Chains A and B, each alone.
Chain A
Amino acid sequence: MKLVFLASLFLGIAAFPAPQSDVLPQNQASGDGYRINVQRVIKRSAPGAQPTFEITYDYEFKNRSSVYVPGLGSAPAKGSFTYKTFEPRLEFLDQPNGRVIQSLSPSPTLAEMGTDSTDTPRQSDFPAAARVEYWKPPFTTFPGAAAAVIQRYFPFGYITQGIGNTNYYITHYRGLQTPNAQLRSQIALMISQPYSLADDKLEYHVQFIARDHPRLSPTMRYADDRSQLTLDAARTFIDRFLSDLNAARSPQ
């Protein structure tokens, strides 16, 4: 009898709908002159791969002109971003290597197992050769402009990673157009900054991995095995990407 009572009590509790909320309370922080609102954190796991967290947030620091977000770089004092990261932690610093103004460890609002089908290379996979570019002030416009252009060409977004004092934006692979209908070419980009602020310019680097495979051969070819058409298409793509990135610069 007692057992039946406990079982029905358990079933009753299990059947009772838990309160649903897209944003958990610990995903928000606010105080004197600041607010941080993490709208969404999607944890994506795939067998044999490091989990990623796609985080969407907006923030505002009223008494500042800029903040520094490790992995992203110097950003405006007010803004919103969506990107993937390996660490579900959000930190706002007053400057690179500076004091932590606010930090947050948001909880995933959604967890997807084995669904991250985007093929994204690691930071160490990229060749050392880089195209060196410069960003004119204000430097804080760089993350927003880069995010907008990346999103245009890489709809599944990018991963941010802060290693030392350098911030890396790493995209997934996307297709490249070549004149050969039998060729399947792909490219992934890595944009890193800052390297130098000399001459009042932000130096950033663009590296890429281009790969291809004949249409009926599933194995990807890298390095010297790639078709020249793939390399030509990759250079054309980067020219267009950088042209759009420079056009996306907008003064604050």
Chain B
Amino acid sequence: MSLSRARATMLAVFLAGFLAQAAMTILVFLKQAISSADLVNLLTESLSVYSVPMAVMLGGLFASRKISGRISAKNHTPFLMALVLAVVWNALLVWRFATFVYAGFNTAVDDSADKVSAYVDQIAKVSSFLIAGALAYFFSGTS
């Protein structure tokens, strides 16, 4: 697997996580279960959480105009580990939005935008170790 393919895969995982959260927030808003102020708050919270890893990834991509490196057989393991950790990190955030959407469509379930926002804020802070190393490994340098 080429390094550019590995980077693209990692970027896709994070992008999918962020878009899933944004879509679910908008869905709950369209259901009229949250106010426009909370729509902005939750989207801002998600953006702020994703801004650091996305900045690292996009910065790494734009810094290398041509990526010609390949991941050797022995480098597949770090990539798989990085991929799993990235999926775990995103899943930690996305599942909370999934429960929020469920509450938005089921009036018997109690939840609130403040609780989701607090969860995202707290989890993102303490779970950054999951992705910091992987991002540095794959997105720093040009090959």
- Say which size band chain A's interface belongs to: 10 to 19
| CB-contacts of B39-95 with A (<8 A) | none
- Cβ A218 vs Cβ B33 within 8 A: no
Q: Is A88 an interface residue (CB 8 A)?
A: no
A181 touching B114 in the complex, CB below 8 Å, given contacts A216-B33, A219-B37: no
Question: Which one of B35, B37, B38, B107 has the highest number of Cβ atoms from chain A below 10 Å of its Cβ?
Answer: B35
A217 touching B113 in the complex, CB below 8 Å, given contacts A181-B107, A182-B107: yes
Q: Interface of A with B (CB < 8 Å)?
A: 180-183, 213-219, 221, 225
Chain A, residue nearest B39 (CB): A217
Chain B, residue nearest A227 (CB): B32
Q: Is B103 an interface residue (CB 8 A)?
A: yes
| Sample of 16 more A-B contacts, CB < 8 Å, known A182-B31, A182-B107 | A181-B107, A182-B32, A213-B35, A214-B32, A214-B33, A214-B34, A214-B38, A215-B107, A216-B111, A216-B112, A217-B33, A217-B37, A217-B38, A217-B113, A219-B37, A221-B35
Nearest-neighbour CB distance to chain B for A239, whole angstroms, equals: 26
CA distance in complex: A86, B32 (Å): 39
Nearest-neighbour CB distance to chain B for A219, whole angstroms, equals: 7
CA distance in complex: A216, B113 (Å): 6
| CB-contacts of B81-135 with A (<8 A) | 100, 103-104, 107, 111-114
- Cβ B32 vs Cβ A218 within 8 A: no
A216 touching B37 in the complex, CB below 8 Å, given contacts A180-B32, A182-B31, A183-B32: no
